[in-house]
Chains A and B, each alone.
Chain A
């Protein structure tokens, strides 16, 4: 049987071959990573194109351990939430969620003490009231109402982080239940949430109840 022999290449040809193999490998890696984008702006354009939209703006970019890497993109009254992962080739795009509702609220799993809200309302400030009923393992029911000012992260993007009502050294059943709630060891059994929007001058622009909380934020 004739042995397969590769032609002997000179140095220039070897350089060309090596660069061609490198480029092919790089292309395949980029493909496996869904062709990472080189900037967030580029990710915004790609996300809006996938929903056949134009003229979107990046309202907020989350880059923390809690919410992960997400871009909150505003397009008129709609929002797109585009997940991405930083890689050595750039920002690898993930699933893009399409939100077309006046007020969208999401939580990290079932933790209602930290809520991210996307609102079509052009408010400069927002306030949230959260009424909760939580049952602990001993059958004790905690009923509390929390009120908090939203942290305006971007145009229409607010984060509402509740503050505990009980001191850390309080040993009452209510305090222990609240601590478990804030530590995500318990979930609220019932909740009522209202968001109020304020203008630049502090005037109340409107009030909106939250009818649905997206607990599956991480399942996108």
Chain B
């Protein structure tokens, strides 16, 4: 008659996915030893208990086939591969995120709105401590929306702010909210820096990063990102209009399909 060692070897030989054999071996041995211990506890002699327990384990070939079906090599290797791949990716994630410091790239791509209304942002071109010095002269709610290069662009709000100089001379400032949305999470929001501004005052000027000299006014032509996700970007364009009493301001973008949006202030706001 076979002993347990032979029975176990026969069972394990049937299992094609070898990495699982040690775990199966342990499980079978634990089961067999528990059964032997139970039989001994009710009075069986050791040798007899081992024989009975081995008989109860069943036919080695049949048990082996059953276990082989449950431990399919294809599934087993796929599981091993998925485990290795997962570990490599987690190590790479930690490497890029923490060691290389790229985690900040994700942080800068997500920014939540700090205020409920655009007006609450005040004149964002000024530092937070000085924003209370800027008073609202006029605000315009627009419904301008255009689609360009897969981006849904919109301008929902513009405001004119005033802050006096130390001698009391009023200086005017502009904020325009620009929103771009697209489903291509892999694309950055459009830069919009080649944008120009024209006014009824008759001058056109350029943001500094396209290398043009800045005639006065305005100055401080800048974009501030106030809300951002991979699908959405809300920026506030700021510009200083100096002492000029503009009645309208027009943003012009000279891309492949040029667009412009005109912001008209209310009559009599400078009175």
Contacts and interface: CB of A to CB of B under 8 A. Distances in A.
A12 B190 contact: no
What is the size category of the interface that chain A forms with chain B? 20 to 34
B265 interface: no
Nearest to B82: A18
Interface string A16-49: 0011011001101111111100000000001011
B89 A25 contact: yes
B98 to A, nearest CB: 11
A52 B185 contact: no
A55 B86 contact: no
Given A15-B75, A50-B187, A101 B256 contact: no
A35 B186 contact: yes
Interface in B134-174: 148-151
A52 B256 contact: yes
Contacts, number: 102
A54 B191 contact: no
A105 to B, nearest CB: 12
Residue among B86, B230, B257 facing the most chain A CB atoms (10 A cut-off): B86
Interface stretch (B2-10, B48-56, B99-107, B241-249): B99-107
B121 interface: no
A53 B149 CA distance: 7
Nearest to A75: B256
Nearest to A46: B187
A21 B194 contact: no
Contact of A96 (B103, B191, B255, B256): B191
B38 interface: no
A133 interface: no
A8 interface: no
Interface string B72-97: 00011011001101100110110011
Contacts of A51: 190-191, 194, 255
A21 B91 CA distance: 12
B84 to A, nearest CB: 9
B79 A14 contact: yes
Interface string A76-103: 0000000000000000010010101100
Interface string A41-76: 000001011111111000000000000000000010
Contacts of A75: 256
B257 A15 contact: no
Contacts of B92: 25, 29
A32 B255 contact: no
A11 interface: yes
A21 B88 CA distance: 11
B211 interface: yes
Contacts of B30: none
A19 B211 CA distance: 49
Contacts of B186: 30, 34-35, 46
Contact of B79 (A18, A29, A33, A100): A18
Nearest to B100: A32
Interface of A: 11-12, 14-15, 18-19, 21-22, 25-26, 28-35, 46, 48-55, 75, 93, 96, 98, 100-101, 212
26 contacts: A11-B76, A14-B82, A15-B75, A15-B79, A18-B82, A19-B86, A21-B89, A25-B93, A26-B89, A28-B93, A28-B106, A29-B93, A32-B96, A32-B102, A32-B105, A49-B149, A49-B150, A49-B187, A49-B190, A50-B187, A51-B191, A52-B190, A52-B192, A52-B255, A52-B256, A98-B191
